[in-house]
Amino acid sequence: MENLIALLIAAPLLGAAVLLTGGRRLDAVGHWIGTILAAVSFVFGAILFADLLGKNAEDRTLIQHLWTWIPVEGFQADVTFRLDQLSMTFVLLITGVGSLIHLYSIGYMEHDERRRRFFGYLNLFLAAMLLLVLADNYLLLYVGWEGVGLASYLLIGFWQHKPSAATAAKKAFLVNRVGDMGLSIAIMLMFTTFGTFAFGPVLGSHEKPGLVEGASEATLTGIALMLLLAACGKSAQVPLQSWLGDAMEGPTPVSALIHAATMVTAGVYLIVRSANIFNLAPDAQLVVTVVGGVTLLFGAIVGCAKDDIKKALAGSTMSQIGYMVLAAGLGPIGYVFAIMHLVTHGFFKAGLFLGAGSVMHGMNDEVDMRKYGGLRKYMPVTFVTFGLGYLAIIGFPGLSGFFSKDKIIEAAFAKGGTEGWILGGVALLGAAITAFYMTRVMLMTFFGEKRWQPDAEGHEPHPHESPKSMTIPMIVLAFGSVFAGGFFSIGDRFLHWLEPVTGHSHGDSPVSALTVTLATMVVLVIGVAIAYAQYGRRPVPVVAPRGSLLTRAARRDLLQDDFNHVVLVRGGEHLTRSLVYVDHTLVDGVVNGTAASVGGLSGRMRKLQNGYARSYAVSMFGGAAILVAATLLMRAV
């Protein structure tokens, strides 16, 4: 069975290779090749899943060793895959949502002349993402990690004739590279500490930790913090979150797949996978929760102020991943719930993005929500599926988000002590803001009066429902958004499934589960009510009002970009410019100066050779005289 694991990756990789090197001949069928290979990968995933289910909980780990990758004295990296419950969960999410989004893209990218290439990149992404979650050591994970970064770079910049898209792509890659630096240092630390960076020997299992037990807490904290830096980059957590908003320059299916459902959750995967390291480094765990908590609020606040529907959703993604990171930082209390929220979020956020894409498709690619309004009449399917996703994300009772988010808030309180109260409070506050901004998106888009106007050339948008290839994936994802949470939670199915890998403890909550649920409901209602008062009862102005200081700051991503621009970009420009100057004048100057002074000296010496026989005679007589004088002097002495 384990021989199938490589095929999971091979199928989309083959697709990418064929589509990217195939040339124009494949233009007509390229999208189908891509979609079918994604589906093939999903089928392999399903077969493996069935196989795992047939085994005992303890035996559900498959290892496939392919070849020795880097063999050097004392250093060994293998191409080995590990399929356990955690990676299985991701495989199903990635290939499942991935296949749906491939299908959706067929319709969405229909009029793009480079559609074949788009599918090639999507397949490349799938392969890299699967490699990321299936790798059995950190270095191989790193390959997938940067592979998804590359795919993300290519897809954000897919419409690269737009300078904004090219810049956004570059920014995403660069910010991620800062995170990658963390991963790279973490691997180096592991190597010097343990002599290996394979999951098995280093991490062990949650009952029986591996080499990590022998290491000092300081080292482990160092490794954990570096892993966190990596996770911050990939999962758009503060302080490396600035790329995600810009990444919305990419086509919408990309935003749905990469920047909502899968790639951005890789950071959470990394933390949960490295649970045994974090468990032994409580200081690092605290930092993880702080990062998660801050990002949760940061993303939510940004999401409240954006008028661009995709950027509002991007803020929301950031905030939801903040929840997951927060949960992952809680340790064994939270790991399972982090992953559960990750999966349900994968469904509803992908659905929301596809819905947004569908709206844009019908609105001539308009993204400003202030120019929507009343769309529910024109796009019923989109409205219903988007609405279900909306209810799921705000945590409407019974839907997916309710189960998963509620558990995280509970777990945050269960952390205990002041810490628990603060984290729980932040999570609750986040839930309220989520309810506010998502209601705002919903109201501005689908309710109220129509606010669109003819564009500069006089074309008025004619909102219409999207084709079947687009609505079917939305419907499937809406099903997931509605039922996944309940399915997972009934009888703690998800908990039992994942527990053998991550471990689980209940913690000691100062408040009962019921209280938490009630409190969540209350803040939810408050959030929805405020949003309704602001955007439902009053008409939405087409031109954004100036807004308060906070609103204006939030529109500019809470000024992080401005900070980056002033400190990093400007500072960097000055640094490089002055270094270029230094290299030219100082380093090169020393050399050229030496050359010039030698030249100058020779120039002066040359003047002695004036060609007059008499002056040569003078020097001869002078020399002779000096010689005679010297001889006499020597004799006298």
Site for another protein in 121-180 (CB under 8 A): 139, 142-143, 145-147, 150, 153, 157, 160-163, 165-167, 169-170, 173-174, 177-178, 180
208 near another protein, rule: CB under 8 A: no
565 near another protein, rule: CB under 8 A: no
Q: Name which of 162 and 506 has its Cβ closer to another protein.
A: 162
Q: How far apart are CA 199 and CA 86, in angstroms?
A: 13
Among 50, 587, 596, 626, binds another protein (CB under 8 A): 587
Which range touches another protein (CB under 8 A), out of 63-71, 287-295, 414-422, 555-563? 63-71
Which range touches another protein (CB under 8 A), out of 50-58, 433-441, 493-501, 579-587? 579-587
Amino acid at 498: L
Contact 235, 266 (CB under 8 A): yes
The CA angle 233-239-245, to the nearest 5 degrees, is: 70
Cβ 254 to another protein, closest distance in Å? 16
Q: How far apart are CA 251 and CA 399, in angstroms?
A: 28
Among 191, 421, 487, 532, binds another protein (CB under 8 A): 191
Helix (H) or strand (E) holding 561: helix 560-563
Which range touches another protein (CB under 8 A), out of 40-48, 54-62, 210-218, 243-251? 210-218
Non-local CB neighbours of 198 within 8 Å, separated by 6+ positions: 78, 80, 136, 137, 138
> Euclidean distance between the first and final Cα of the chain, in Å?
104
71 near another protein, rule: CB under 8 A: yes
CB atoms within 10 A of CB 209: 17
Q: Which of residues 395-434 bind another protein (CB under 8 A)?
A: none
Q: Name which of 215 and 470 has its Cβ closer to another protein.
A: 215
Q: Name which of 181 and 544 has its Cβ closer to another protein.
A: 181
70 near another protein, rule: CB under 8 A: yes
Contact 490, 78 (CB under 8 A): no
User: Binding string to another protein for residues 2 to 41, with x set by CB under 8 A, is what?
Assistant: ------------------x---------------------
How many residues appear in the chain? Answer: 637
Q: How far apart are CA 99 and CA 78, in angstroms?
A: 29
599 near another protein, rule: CB under 8 A: no
Among 614, 634, 635, 636, binds another protein (CB under 8 A): 614
205 near another protein, rule: CB under 8 A: no
**What DSSP assignment string belongs to 216-242?**
-HHHHHHHHHHHHHHHHHHTT-TTS-H
* DSSP-based three-state secondary structure for 112: coil
Q: 132-147 burial by CB neighbour count: b if 16+ within 10 A, else e?
A: bbbbbbbbbbbbbbbb
Q: Name which of 167 and 534 has its Cβ closer to another protein.
A: 167
Indicate left, alpha or beta for 215 from its phi (over 0: left) and psi (-120 to 50: alpha).
Answer: beta
525 near another protein, rule: CB under 8 A: no
Q: Name which of 617 and 630 has its Cβ closer to another protein.
A: 617
606 near another protein, rule: CB under 8 A: yes
Q: 374-391 burial by CB neighbour count: b if 16+ within 10 A, else e?
A: ebbebbebbbbbbebbbb
Which range touches another protein (CB under 8 A), out of 191-199, 347-355, 381-389, 405-413? 191-199
Which range touches another protein (CB under 8 A), out of 43-51, 189-197, 315-323, 543-551? 189-197
- Token look-up 């908003």 returns 245
Cβ 8 to another protein, closest distance in Å? 17
Q: Name which of 202 and 414 has its Cβ closer to another protein.
A: 202
Contact 300, 433 (CB under 8 A): yes
Contact 237, 287 (CB under 8 A): no
Cβ 239 to another protein, closest distance in Å? 15
Cβ 569 to another protein, closest distance in Å? 11
Q: Name which of 123 and 316 has its Cβ closer to another protein.
A: 123
Which range touches another protein (CB under 8 A), out of 47-55, 215-223, 454-462, 494-502? 215-223
| Axis crossing angle, helix 163-194 with helix 138-156, rounded to the nearest 10 | 180
Among 32, 59, 195, 565, binds another protein (CB under 8 A): 195
- Token look-up 């509970």 returns 410
Among 25, 28, 56, 74, binds another protein (CB under 8 A): 74
Contact 66, 80 (CB under 8 A): yes
Cβ 211 to another protein, closest distance in Å? 5
Among 458, 545, 610, 637, binds another protein (CB under 8 A): 610
73 near another protein, rule: CB under 8 A: yes
Query: What tokens does 129 get?
Result: 């993402």
583 near another protein, rule: CB under 8 A: yes
Q: Name which of 175 and 476 has its Cβ closer to another protein.
A: 175
Contact 461, 452 (CB under 8 A): yes
Among 618, 627, 629, 632, binds another protein (CB under 8 A): 618
629 near another protein, rule: CB under 8 A: no
Q: What are phi and psi of 308, to 5 degrees?
A: -80, 120
Which range touches another protein (CB under 8 A), out of 328-336, 338-346, 465-473, 613-621? 613-621
**What DSSP assignment string belongs to 580-637?**
HHHIIIIIHHHHHHHHHHHHHHHHHHHHH----HHHHHHHHHHHHHHHHHHHHHHHH-
CB atoms within 10 A of CB 422: 15
Among 380, 397, 398, 572, binds another protein (CB under 8 A): 572
Strand pairing of 62-72 and 75-83? antiparallel
Which range touches another protein (CB under 8 A), out of 96-104, 181-189, 498-506, 545-553? 181-189
Q: Is 63 exposed, middle or buried (0-12, 13-18, 19+ CB in 10 A)?
A: middle
612 near another protein, rule: CB under 8 A: yes
Which range touches another protein (CB under 8 A), out of 42-50, 328-336, 522-530, 583-591? 583-591
546 near another protein, rule: CB under 8 A: no
Q: Name which of 79 and 523 has its Cβ closer to another protein.
A: 79
The size of the interface with another protein (CB under 8 A), counted in residues, is: 73
Q: Name which of 59 and 583 has its Cβ closer to another protein.
A: 583
The CA angle 391-395-401, to the nearest 5 degrees, is: 95
Non-local CB neighbours of 121 within 8 Å, separated by 6+ positions: 16, 20, 151, 154, 155, 158
Cβ 428 to another protein, closest distance in Å? 37
Q: Name which of 67 and 453 has its Cβ closer to another protein.
A: 67
Query: What tokens does 206 get?
Result: 């949650």
563 near another protein, rule: CB under 8 A: no
